[in-house]
Structure 1
């Protein structure tokens, strides 16, 4: 059960930090620091994949996460589209106006 508690602690910490990370990405893009922003976007994308993989694992232990996986997939698709066009404003807006508020509303798991 200790492993599950570590996973829950990691999940809680990650969910708590996403809004700050989203703001950081938007600021880096606005400042023209595209390389820094792209590294952070890569970290964000890997984190989103981890969240999607985590949901079924937690469900096996009767822990239900209420965030919609489809929303995360949509975010990743929109980010990729914006990045492919090098539309830095669109990507920054996604992080500030959609991703940040979405994750500010997500609830942590009570241990």
Structure 2
């Protein structure tokens, strides 16, 4: 498939492969799990100034309650989208390093 065939499709209707991929991703979302105990170990980062922080905390608690190993990293004083600022914000670099370490350990 060439780049020009993708460009000719309307933006409001993604290519079929993207649509199928999104459907698969949506079905694999944790909210579709019949039993949280079936989910893999989790590394959950919550940001103190994030409106979704409490939801992340409740999710970590629910996973723990189901027996799933959870590492919850609560980061104080940062907003929702703090991770991309690795050049200027030390805590962003530190947390990304922690995430990388957790991924590496999971596949070791």
Q: Which has the higher strand share?
A: 2
Shorter-chain TM-score range: 0.3 to 0.5
The TM-score, its normalising length taken from structure 2, stands at 0.32
Work out which of the two has the higher radius of gyration on C-alpha atoms and give 1 or 2.
2
Tell me which of the two structures has the higher relative contact order, counting C-alpha pairs closer than 8 angstroms and 6 or more residues apart: 1
